[in-house]
């Protein structure tokens, strides 16, 4: 157990639907990062939060949004889902980024 | 923009042998960090080793070591005494020392350790 908890582990949903992925960072870590891992695009940075505030955005679609709550857990919301959104979504947290992130085990999203 | 290239999509090695995975990157920055992550079939991303660009000494963690060549923008991972548990995808990642602290990942190398 890495200390970063992601739920659910698997999610199957239909095109056009909306889903919410949840992440609890390691205790004490203020930063949360979301990454998407897909076969065609590899691992891509989506968005970063630090202590409740958005710090950086990557190639995140407008249909996707995220937030970090006062208890530091984060949610990634994906709406109007398309087949191409099928991927593994990782959350990671860090106390000191220079020593690397700690990743959760990911949420496997399948859009059918 | 920074890019990371892993030119070996797949590799295999016999148990107890040594294998080297290559990674090259492109950046105009001088201060950055490089990482190797392992993703076994469980899909968990596990940090293997890290290197600070301003340090000339190559990082070592037990059986894992790197050959960091800053001028050549090369960051290879050497695994000694390979074990079956080393079978995994290995990703090289680049991170700037300031700014967003996001990772730029390579496309990965699938390593299979053979018994």
At A96, the pLDDT band (50, 70, 90 cuts) reads confident
- Choosing among A54, A97, A104, which should be mutated to test the B contact, i.e. which has the most B CBs within 10 A? A97
Residue A46 has pLDDT above 90, yes or no: yes
Q: What is the b/e burial string over A89-103, where b = at least 16 CB atoms within 10 angstroms of the residue's CB?
A: bbbbbbeebeebbbb
Euclidean distance between CA atoms A54 and B100, whole angstroms: 11
Q: Identify the pLDDT of residue B60.
A: 95
- Give the pLDDT band of residue A95 (cuts 50, 70, 90): confident
**d(Cα A21, Cα A109) in Å, to the nearest integer?**
9
The mean of the pLDDT values for chain A is 95
Cβ atoms within 10 Å, residue B76: 17
The reported pLDDT for the residue numbered A9 is: 97
Please tell me the predicted confidence (pLDDT) of residue A71: 95
Interface of A with B in 10-49 (CB under 8 A): 31, 33, 35, 42-45, 48
3-state SS, residue B33 = strand
| CA-based nearest distance A43→chain B, Å | 6
Contact B60, B51 (CB under 8 A): no
Say yes or no to pLDDT of A1 above 90: no
Q: Is the pLDDT of residue A84 over 90?
A: yes
End-to-end CA distance of chain B: 41
| pLDDT of A66 strictly over 90 | yes
A-chain residues within 8 Å CB-CB of B46? 103
pLDDT tens track of chain B, all 115 residues? 889 999 999 999 999 999 999 999 999 999 999 999 999 999 999 999 999 999 989 999 999 999 999 999 999 999 999 999 999 999 999 999 888 889 999 999 999 999 9
Residue-level pLDDT at A97: 84
Q: Which residues of A touch B43 (CB under 8 A)?
A: 88, 105-106, 108
The shortest CB-CB distance from A45 to any of B37, B44, B103 is to B103
- Using an 8 Å CB-CB cutoff, list chain A residues near B101: 31, 48, 56, 94, 97
Beta carbon pairs, A and B, within 8 Å: 53
Give me the pLDDT at residue B1, please.
83
């Amino acid at each position: 157990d890495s200390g970063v908890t992601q739920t659910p582990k698997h999610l199957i949903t239909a095109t056009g639907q909306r889903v919410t992925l949840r992440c609890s960072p390691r205790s004490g870590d203020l930063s949360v990062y979301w990454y998407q891992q897909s076969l065609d695009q590899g691992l891509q940075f989506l968005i970063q939060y630090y202590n409740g505030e958005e710090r950086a955005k990557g190639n995140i679609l407008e249909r996707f949004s995220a937030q970090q709550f006062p208890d530091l857990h984060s949610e990634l919301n994906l709406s109007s889902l398309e087949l191409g959104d099928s991927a593994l979504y990782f959350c990671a947290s860090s106390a000191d980024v220079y020593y690397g992130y700690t990743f959760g085990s990911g949420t496997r999203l399948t859009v059918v | 923009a920074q890019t990371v290239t892993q030119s070996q999509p797949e590799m295999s090695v016999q148990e107890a042998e040594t294998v080297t995975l290559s990674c090259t990157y492109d950046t105009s920055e001088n201060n950055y960090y490089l990482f190797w992550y392992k993703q076994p079939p469980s899909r968990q991303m596990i940090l293997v080793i890290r290197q600070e660009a301003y340090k000339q000494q190559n990082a070592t963690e037990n059986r894992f070591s790197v050959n960091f060549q800053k001028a050549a923008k090369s960051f290879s991972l050497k695994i000694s005494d390979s074990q079956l548990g080393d079978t995994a995808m290995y990703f090289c990642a680049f991170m700037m020392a300031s700014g967003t602290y996001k990772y730029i990942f390579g496309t990965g190398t699938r390593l299979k350790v053979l018994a």
